[in-house]
Amino acid sequence: MPDFHVTVDLVVLTIRDGDGPHRADRVASRLARPLAGRLAALLVRRGIDPYAGQLALPGGYVLPHEELADAAYRELREETGLGGAVHLEQLASYGAPGRDPRGPTVTVAFLALAPMLGSVVGGSDAAAAEWTPVDEIPWQGLAFDHAQILCDGIERARAKLEYSSLGAAFCPPEFTIGQLRAVYEAVWGYPLDPRNFHRKVSSAQGFLEPVGRTSTVDGGRPAQLFRRGQVQALHPPLTRGSDTLSGSPAG
């Protein structure tokens, strides 16, 4: 039986402003109007073969006697400079024959979708690291099977906003529903009907708590301010593409 290797790969997503991956760290917690942020993925440019010079997800080999999560955090730190404060969850495992030209390899992918992720810098066998807006990713040019892994991670992240209160974590401590809608639009990738969105998030038990003040941060008339509620799971969930949220999915 031929030897096989175990690796970890990381899908790390955040919302950043429209200035692109190389500008200062203005993240979604400072959103001032709808669609001010864009969903971005953390990519590295490989400094070694195979696929030297191509974009890829951060990741690498699991060392002997190393736990999978420990390997994931180590690779994230070594290749991008991000610390261990990022919460990672297992996404899926991938082991198709030929996925790695170095030999049979199974990779365990991890996912993080988090606010306040700062600047990154390449290290170890990554020549560079950068935040890349999802709608600008050169999908055909990603190394290995990382296009599939990244697609799966983005879909998992979009689903998490349907059934969890994670979206509010990208907002300031006090925020308008317009600011919250901007987060959902950035992650889901299409505009949402303001009235229907307002009605849906307001009906989700424990999702939002009014603070008793208003703000003109969205422009126009003053809008009510909220803070994140105590619940983690949304009841009822928000459903992408439903008539009640009437958007125009980008596909």
| The pLDDT of residue 75 is above 50 | yes
The values of phi and psi at residue 243, to 5°, are: -60, -30
Are residues 12 and 134 both part of a single domain? yes
Of 118, 133, 162, the residue at which a domain comes to its end is: 162
Q: Which of 96-100, 142-146, 239-243 has the highest mean pLDDT?
A: 142-146
Domain that holds residue 174: 167-228
Stretch 50-62: mean pLDDT: 95
SS (H, E, C) the chain: CCCCEEEEEEEEEEEEECCCCCCCCCEHHHCCCCCCEEEEEEEEEECCCCCCCCEECCEEECCCCCCHHHHHHHHHHHHHCCCCCCCCEEEEEECCCCCCCCCCEEEEEEEEECCCCCCCCCCCCEEEEEEEEHHHCCHHHCCCCHHHHHHHHHHHHHHHHHHECHHHHHCCCCECHHHHHHHHHHHHCCCCCHHHHHHHHHHCCCCEEEEEEEECCCCCCCEEEEEECCCCECCCCCCCCCCCCCCCCCC
Are residues 53 and 158 both part of a single domain? yes
Are residues 112 and 147 both part of a single domain? yes
- Torsion sign (Cα): 115, 124, 154, 231: negative
Are residues 20 and 135 both part of a single domain? yes
Look at residue 124 and tell me if it is in a domain: yes
Look at residue 239 and tell me if it is in a domain: no
What pLDDT is stored for residue 2 in this prediction?
A: 58
Residue with tokens 């955090």: 73
List the structure tokens of 30.
Answer: 């400072």
Are residues 18 and 57 both part of a single domain? yes
With bands split at pLDDT 50, 70 and 90, how would you rate the model's confidence at 18? Answer: low
What average pLDDT is seen over the chain? Answer: 87
Domain of residue 103, CATH code: 3.90.79.10
Compute the residue count for the chain.
251
Of 133, 162, 191, the residue at which a domain comes to its end is: 162
pLDDT per position as a tens digit, 136-193: 999 999 999 999 999 999 999 999 999 999 999 999 999 999 999 999 999 999 999 9
Domain of residue 199, CATH code: 1.10.10.10
110 neighbors 91 (Cβ within 8 angstroms): yes
List the structure tokens of 137.
Answer: 């990713």
pTM of the shown model: 0.86
195 neighbors 244 (Cβ within 8 angstroms): no
Own/partner contacts of 215-220, CB < 8 Å, gap of 24 or more, are 215/174, 215/176, 217/32, 217/33, 217/176, 217/178, 217/179, 218/33, 218/34, 218/176, 218/178, 218/179, 219/33
Of 145, 162, 179, the residue at which a domain comes to its end is: 162
With bands split at pLDDT 50, 70 and 90, how would you rate the model's confidence at 242? Answer: low
| The pLDDT of residue 249 is above 90 | no
Are residues 60 and 177 both part of a single domain? no
Are residues 152 and 191 both part of a single domain? no
pLDDT per position as a tens digit, 187-236: 999 999 999 999 999 999 999 999 999 998 888 889 999 999 999 999 99
What pLDDT is stored for residue 126 in this prediction?
A: 83
Are residues 103 and 213 both part of a single domain? no
Are residues 26 and 74 both part of a single domain? yes
Q: Which of 30, 51, 49 is nearest to 171 (CA)?
A: 30
The values of phi and psi at residue 231, to 5°, are: -75, 150
Q: How many domains does the chain have?
A: 2
| The pLDDT of residue 42 is above 60 | yes
Are residues 63 and 149 both part of a single domain? yes
What pLDDT is stored for residue 91 in this prediction?
A: 97
| Angle (deg, nearest 10), helices 177-188 and 146-163 | 150
